C-alpha cells in the first residue's frame, strides 16, 4: 500500500525534473514570496484591480513624463532648425544632418552597456540618473556655438537618453501583465505626439524672444534642459525599483503586485547576468525579426523627425507657420498610437494591426512625392498621413517584450531592438540633405521602401510564433502536462473577472509552489515549455477552458453544502487537475501520458 500511495504519476514528475533546464538563478520574486509563504497569497479581482490602479497612478505617470522630456529634449534640434541654427552655428553641407544622426549613434553604441546596467542595478534609480544627466547635457549645449561643440554635446545627450526606452520597456515588463503591457507601452509612446504639440507651442513662444547675448536656439536648449533636470529629482523620490520594494504599496499590495505576474512566465528580477541568455538572443530568429522591422520603421522616423519642419516649410509656409502646422502632426500621432494600441489589445493580432497601419504612411509618402508644390493642402494631408508611422514603433516594442522571457534575455532583446532603432535613426537623416530641398525625393523614396518592408515582415511573424507555440505544446505533452494551456497573462478584464470568480478554476487549479513555477524563475521563453507566445490570446483561452470547467463545477456544487475551507478546496482542485483525464487534440490522455482506455 505504501508503494501504491506514491501513485503512478511519480515517473512523470521525475521525467519533468530530468528534462527541465536547471534553475540556477533565484529571482527576487521567489525570495519575496517565500518570505510571505505564511500569508494569504490568493486575491480577488477587485483587489487586483485596486493594486493595478495604484501602480498606474504612480509608475505609469512617472514613465509618461520621463518619456515626454526625453522626446522633447532630443527634438529641440528639429524645432530650432527653422530659427537659423544653421546660420548662427555656421553649419554647412550635411553638418545639420549629422547633428541629428550623432544622437542615435551614441544611443547605438551605449545599448550593450545599458542592457548590463539594467540587469545589475535597480531600474528606478537608473531611470532617474539618466534623466538628470541628459537634462544637464542639454542645458550645457546652450553654450555651444559651432559644429564641433554641438556635435560633442549631442553625442553626450544621446548617450544618456539611450537609457530611457529600455528602462520604460523593462519597467513595463516588471509591473504589468502581458495583456496590460500593449496599452501601457502605447501610453508612454504617445508622449511623442504630446511632445510635438507642447514642443511646438513652447518653441513658438520662445522663438519670439530676442536677446542680444543668446541665439534663439540657445534659449530653447536651456529652457528644456533645466525643466528636465527638475523633473529628475521627482523621479528619484517617487519611482520604486520593483513591485517587491515599492514603498508606495502596502505589504499586502506588494504581494498581490508580485503574485499577479506569475502568469507572464517571464521572470521578474534577479540582477544576475547570464551569458547563456546572451547566446540565445543571438541565435533566436525572433530577435532578427524585431531588428529588421524596427530598423526599417526607424529609418523613416529618423528622417521625418529631423527634417519634418523643413519639409513643411518647403510647401511654401513661413517659419512660424511651419511650427504651428506641426501641432496637428502631434495630435494625429497621439490618436494613432492610442487607437492601434487598443486594437492590438482587443484583437491580440499585432502583426495584422502593424501591417494595416503601414499602409497609411505609404499613401502619405506617395502623395508627397507626386503632388505639385502648389497644392499645399494635399501635401499637408500626405504629411499628416506619414505621422501615423509613430503607431508602429510602440507596437514593436510591446510585441518583442511580450514574447521574451528571462532577465538577461529580456534586456538583451530590448537592447537589440533599440540598437535597430538607433541605427535607423542614424541612417534616416543622412538620406535627406538641405540641398535636396524642396522635393527631398531621395529621403522620401527610402521611406516608402521602409514602410513596405515593415508591413511584409510583420505579416510573416505570427506564422513563426504559431510554430513556436506548437513546439511548446508538444514539449508539455512529453512532460505529461496539458498540451493547450490558457495564457493567463493575456486574459482580458471580463475573462480575468470570471476566472477570479471561480476560485478553483484555472489559476487555483494550476497554481504551483514558488519553487516549481517556471514563471518566477530566470528561464528564457525558448527553454520554458509553459511560455505561450503572444498570438491569439482569447482563442487560446477558450480552447483550453472546456476540460477544466467540469471539475470546477463539480467541486463548487459539492461545496454548496460541505462548506469546506478555501485551502482544502484549492488542494482538492489541484489533485483533480493532476489526476483528471484530458482530451487533447481529440486524444484521451492522463497526466502520465498513458491512454485513458
Specify the pLDDT at position 212: 77
Specify the pLDDT at position 563: 61
Determine the Cα–Cα distance for residues 159 and 524; give it in Å rounded to an integer.
29
Determine the Cα–Cα distance for residues 514 and 507; give it in Å rounded to an integer.
14
Determine the Cα–Cα distance for residues 242 and 258; give it in Å rounded to an integer.
9
Determine the Cα–Cα distance for residues 276 and 283; give it in Å rounded to an integer.
11
Specify the pLDDT at position 69: 93
Specify the pLDDT at position 510: 43
Question: Closest by alpha carbon to 410, among 261, 241, 280?
Answer: 280
> Which distant-in-sequence residues (6+ apart) come within 8 Å of 240 by Cβ?
58, 59, 124, 246, 247, 248, 249
Question: Closest by alpha carbon to 168, among 192, 133, 141?
Answer: 192
C-alpha distance across the termini of the chain, in Å: 24
CATH number among 1.10.600.10, 1.20.1250.20, 3.30.70.420, 3.40.190.10, domain 284-480+525-538: 1.20.1250.20
3-state secondary structure of 440: coil
How does pLDDT run across 240-290, given as a tens digit for each residue? 988 888 888 888 888 888 888 776 655 555 567 788 888 888 888 988 998
Specify the pLDDT at position 433: 73
DSSP class of residue 89 equals T
Integer-rounded Cα Rg, in Å, for the chain is: 26
Specify the pLDDT at position 520: 54
| Other Cβ atoms within 10 Å of 26 Cβ, number | 16
- In this prediction, the residues of the chain whose per-residue pLDDT falls under 70 are 1-34, 36-41, 263-271, 306, 308-309, 319, 434, 481-522, 535-597
Specify the pLDDT at position 506: 42
pTM above 0.75, yes or no: no
Boundaries of CATH 1.20.1250.20 in the chain?
28-262, 284-480+525-538
> Which distant-in-sequence residues (6+ apart) come within 8 Å of 187 by Cβ?
60, 64, 338, 341
DSSP character string of 253-297:
HHHHHHHTTGGG-S--------HHHHHHHHH-HHHHHHHHHHHHH
Question: Closest by alpha carbon to 368, among 452, 454, 441?
Answer: 441
| Other Cβ atoms within 10 Å of 183 Cβ, number | 18
Provide the CATH topology of domain 28-262: Growth Hormone; Chain: A; (1.20.1250)
- Please say whether the beta carbons of 405 and 265 come within 8 A: yes
Amino acid at each position: 500500500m505504501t508503494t501504491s500511495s506514491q501513485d503512478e504519476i511519480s515517473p512523470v514528475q521525475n521525467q519533468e525534473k530530468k528534462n527541465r533546464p536547471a534553475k540556477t538563478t533565484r529571482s527576487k520574486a521567489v525570495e519575496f514570496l517565500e518570505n510571505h509563504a505564511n500569508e494569504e497569497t490568493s486575491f480577488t479581482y477587485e483587489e487586483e484591480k485596486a493594486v493595478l490602479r495604484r501602480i498606474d497612478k504612480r509608475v505609469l505617470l512617472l514613465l509618461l513624463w520621463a518619456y515626454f522630456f526625453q522626446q522633447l529634449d532630443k527634438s529641440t534640434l528639429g524645432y530650432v532648425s527653422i530659427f537659423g541654427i544653421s546660420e548662427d552655428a555656421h553649419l554647412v553641407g550635411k553638418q545639420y544632418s549629422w547633428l541629428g544622426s550623432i544622437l542615435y549613434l551614441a544611443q547605438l553604441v551605449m545599448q550593450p552597456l545599458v542592457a548590463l546596467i539594467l540587469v545589475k542595478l535597480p531600474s528606478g534609480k537608473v531611470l532617474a540618473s539618466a534623466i538628470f544627466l541628459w537634462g544637464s547635457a542639454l542645458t550645457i549645449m546652450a553654450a555651444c556655438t559651432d559644429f564641433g561643440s554641438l556635435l560633442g554635446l549631442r553625442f553626450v545627450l544621446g548617450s544618456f537618453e539611450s537609457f530611457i526606452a529600455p528602462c520604460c520597456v523593462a519597467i513595463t515588463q516588471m509591473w504589468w501583465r502581458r495583456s496590460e503591457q500593449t496599452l501601457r507601452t502605447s501610453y508612454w509612446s504617445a508622449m511623442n505626439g504630446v511632445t510635438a504639440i507642447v514642443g511646438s507651442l513652447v518653441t513658438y513662444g520662445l522663438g519670439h524672444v530676442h536677446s542680444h547675448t543668446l541665439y534663439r536656439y540657445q534659449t530653447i536648449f536651456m529652457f528644456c534642459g533645466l525643466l528636465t533636470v527638475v523633473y529628475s529629482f521627482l523621479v528619484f523620490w517617487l519611482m520604486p525599483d520593483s513591485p517587491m520594494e515599492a514603498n508606495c504599496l502596502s505589504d499586502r499590495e506588494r504581494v498581490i503586485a508580485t503574485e499577479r505576474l506569475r502568469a507572464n512566465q517571464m521572470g521578474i528580477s534577479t540582477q544576475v547576468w547570464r551569458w547563456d541568455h546572451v547566446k540565445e538572443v543571438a541565435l533566436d530568429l525572433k530577435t532578427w525579426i524585431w531588428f529588421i522591422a524596427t530598423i526599417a520603421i526607424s529609418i523613416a522616423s529618423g528622417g521625418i523627425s529631423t527634417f519634418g519642419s523643413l519639409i513643411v516649410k518647403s510647401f511654401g509656409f513661413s517659419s512660424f507657420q511651419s511650427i504651428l502646422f506641426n501641432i496637428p502632426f502631434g495630435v494625429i500621432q497621439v490618436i494613432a498610437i492610442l487607437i492601434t494600441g487598443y486594437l492590438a489589445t482587443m484583437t491580440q493580432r499585432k502583426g495584422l494591426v502593424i501591417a494595416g497601419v503601414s499602409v497609411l504612411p505609404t499613401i502619405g509618402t506617395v502623395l508627397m512625392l507626386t503632388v505639385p508644390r502648389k497644392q499645399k493642402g494635399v501635401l499637408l494631408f500626405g504629411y499628416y498621413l506619414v505621422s501615423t508611422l509613430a503607431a508602429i514603433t510602440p507596437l514593436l516594442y510591446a510585441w518583442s517584450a511580450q514574447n521574451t522571457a528571462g532577465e538577461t534575455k529580456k534586456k538583451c532583446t530590448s537592447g537589440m531592438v533599440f540598437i535597430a532603432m538607433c541605427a535607423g535613426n542614424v541612417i534616416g537623416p543622412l538620406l535627406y540633405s538641405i540641398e535636396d530641398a524642396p522635393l527631398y525625393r531621395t529621403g522620401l523614396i527610402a521611406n516608402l521602401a521602409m514602410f513596405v518592408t515593415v508591413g511584409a515582415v510583420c505579416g510573416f511573424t505570427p506564422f513563426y510564433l504559431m510554430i513556436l507555440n506548437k513546439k511548446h505544446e508538444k514539449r508539455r505533452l512529453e512532460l505529461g502536462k496539458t498540451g493547450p494551456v490558457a495564457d493567463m497573462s493575456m486574459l482580458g478584464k471580463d475573462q480575468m473577472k470570471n476566472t477570479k470568480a471561480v476560485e478553483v478554476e484555472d489559476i487555483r487549479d494550476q497554481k504551483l509552489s514558488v519553487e516549481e513555477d517556471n514563471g518566477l524563475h530566470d528561464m528564457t521563453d525558448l527553454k520554458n515549455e509553459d511560455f505561450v507566445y503572444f498570438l491569439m490570446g482569447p482563442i487560446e483561452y477558450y480552447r483550453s477552458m472546456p476540460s477544466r470547467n467540469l471539475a470546477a463545477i463539480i467541486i463548487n456544487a459539492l461545496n454548496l453544502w460541505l462548506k469546506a475551507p478555501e485551502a482544502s478546496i484549492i488542494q482538492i482542485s489541484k489533485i483533480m487537475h493532476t489526476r483528471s483525464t484530458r482530451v487533447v487534440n481529440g486524444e484521451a490522455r492522463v497526466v502520465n501520458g498513458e491512454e485513458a482506455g
